[in-house]
Structure 1
C-alpha cells in the first residue's frame, strides 16, 4: 500500500512538472517577437488616395530588394483605419502622421522607428527652401476676397477639415482657434471632412468651404490644375512646428527587424528612384532615427483638444 501511495505521489509530481513546463512553453511562444515572412506597408491619404497608391507601389520592389522578403504596399481609407489595422496585426509598417502615431502607440504599443525630413517653406507663397527640417506647420487658408482676416472671423463659417486624428488637418488648427477664443464645436461653425489636404485647398478655391485646415505647402499640390491658387487662396494663420510623419511598426516586431526596416528605408531614401517615390508621395526627402518623446508636443495639443467638447 505504501509503495502504491509513493507511486501515485511520484506520478502526480511528474504530471505537475509536465503541465507547468507546457504552460511555460505556451507563454514563451505567445510573447515571441514577430519576424515577417511578408511585409505589409500602409500609407494614409494626405492627398488623393488612388494617386498615392500608384506612386507608392514601386516601393514594393525596392523594399523586397533591401529586406529579402515580399512586400505589399497599400493605402488606408483614413488615419483610424491604419491604427486599427496595426493593432490587429494586419499591417506591419505604417506611414503615420504624428497624431496617428501617438494614438497607435497609446492604443496598441506601436513603435516609431523613423521620422521624415522635409524641405522647409518660406511665406508668403510657400517657397521651398534648401533647409531640411523634422517638423512642418499647419495653416488656415481662406479665399483672398472672403473678408476673413483672422481666426475670430471664422465664427459661423464652414471649414474643410481632415480626420480628427490629423495634426495639421484638425488638432493644431482647432486648438489654435480655442486659444484665440473660438471653439470649433460651439461657435456655429460647420465642418466638412474631406480626404486629402489638396481637397481642402480646392474646397476653398471652388467656394465649397470658407476656410480649410491644411499643412503648409498644400496649395502647391493643386497649382498644376489651379494655376492662380496662390493668389486666390491665402493663409490667415500658421501654427508652430508639428513633428514630421513617422515610419512606425507594430508592437511585436522584433528588434532585429526594427533595425532592418529602418536601415532599408534610409537606404531607399538615398537612391534616385526611392527618393523620387517618397518625395512625390509625402514630400519626404530623408529619414532619421526617432524616439517616442519627440511627440510629446502632440500629446500636449491632444490634451487641450479634449477641452473642445467640455
Structure 2
C-alpha cells in the first residue's frame, strides 16, 4: 500500500513538473514570437512641446480622426511635459508613437524604447529675414538671438550674460549652441546664467522683453511669434548660426510589427500631402511632409551629445 501511495505521489509530481515545463515553454515561446510583432488595436501618439506648448494638443487633436480613417483603429493624441517623459512612456509601452526631436529619438533608441520610422521635412530658411525658401530640407540650424541695440555683437560678448535655453536634451535649444560655443572658448555653464524656458517662442519673448540677454532657439523661431509681434524680425536679431541638425522624427515602439510600421508610415506620408493633414503638421511643428529615414542619420546627434556629456563631467 505504501508503495502505491509513493508511486501516486511521484506520478502526480511528475505530471505537475511536465505541465509546468510545458507552460514555461509556452510562455517563453509566446514571448519570443511576440517580439517585433505588436500590432496595436488602438494607437497612442504623443508629442513633445517645442513652441506654444499650451496649444500643441489642440492643434494636433484633429490628427486622431485622419489616422483613424487610414488605420481603421482608434487613435489618441496627447502632449508630454518634456522629452524625458515621452521616452519613459514609450519604454513602458504606454505610448506607441512619439513625435520626437533628434535628441529625444537618440535617447529613446539608446534605451531600447523606440525605432525610427520617418523624418520630417521643412522648408529651408533664408537669412537675413528668416523667410522660407521653396526647397524642402531634412535638417535645420540653431541660432543665438539678442535684442536690437544690444551690446552683444558676437558670441564673444556672451560671457557673463543671461541666456534663455531649452531643456538640456534639446538639440537646437541647448546642445548644438553649447557645444559650438565651447569649442570657441565660451563655457556657458560656467560663464553665464542659464534660464530654462518651455518652448522656443518663450526664448524669443524672453529676449524681446529683456528678461534675458540672449536665447538659443531653432532657426527661425521668430516666425512663431510674428503674428502677435509683427516687428519681431527687426527687434530680435540672430548673431550666430550653428551647423545643421537632423530634423524631427516620428518614432515607434521597438516591438511594433513591420507590417504595421509600413501601414503607419504610409498613413503619415499620405495625410501630410492632404490639405487638412498638411495644415495640422505645419501648425504644430512647421513640418511640410515626411520621408523614410534610418538610424545612422542621427550619428551626428550622438557625436554632439557625447561632447556635451563630456563637458559636463
Which residue is 2:60 aligned to?
Answer: 56
Which residue is 2:294 aligned to?
Answer: 291
When normalised by structure 2's length, the TM-score is 0.93
Which residue is 2:138 aligned to?
Answer: 134
| Secondary structure class of the residue paired with 2:21 | helix
Distance in 1 (alpha carbons) for counterparts of 2:125 and 2:21: 61
- Per-residue displacement from partner, 1:192-227 (whole Å, max 9, x unpaired)? 111111110010011011111100010011111111
Q: 1:309 and 2:292 equivalent?
A: no
Contact 1:185 1:308 in 2 (8 A): no
Contact 2:207 2:214 in 1 (8 A): yes
Q: 1:22 and 2:18 equivalent?
A: no
Which residue is 1:278 aligned to?
Answer: 281
Give the Å deviation of 1:13.
6.2
Which residue is 1:69 aligned to?
Answer: 73
Distance in 2 (alpha carbons) for counterparts of 1:104 and 1:10: 50
When normalised by structure 1's length, the TM-score is 0.94
Q: 1:101 and 2:105 equivalent?
A: yes
Q: 1:149 and 2:150 equivalent?
A: no
Give the Å deviation of 1:249.
0.8
| Secondary structure class of the residue paired with 2:124 | strand
Distance in 1 (alpha carbons) for counterparts of 2:113 and 2:227: 40
Give the Å deviation of 1:89.
1.3
Q: Which runs of 5+ in 2 are unaligned?
A: none
Distance in 2 (alpha carbons) for counterparts of 1:288 and 1:18: 50
- Per-residue displacement from partner, 1:13-64 (whole Å, max 9, x unpaired)? 6654433321121123334132211111111111112211111100000000
Which residue is 1:229 aligned to?
Answer: 232
Which residue is 1:195 aligned to?
Answer: 198
Paired residue total: 308
Which shows bigger deviation, 271-280 or 247-256? Answer: 247-256
Superposed CA RMSD = 1.8
Distance in 2 (alpha carbons) for counterparts of 1:28 and 1:117: 41
Distance in 2 (alpha carbons) for counterparts of 1:63 and 1:304: 39
Give the Å deviation of 1:307.
2.7
Distance in 1 (alpha carbons) for counterparts of 2:22 and 2:294: 38
Contact 2:138 2:247 in 1 (8 A): yes
Distance in 1 (alpha carbons) for counterparts of 2:129 and 2:21: 68
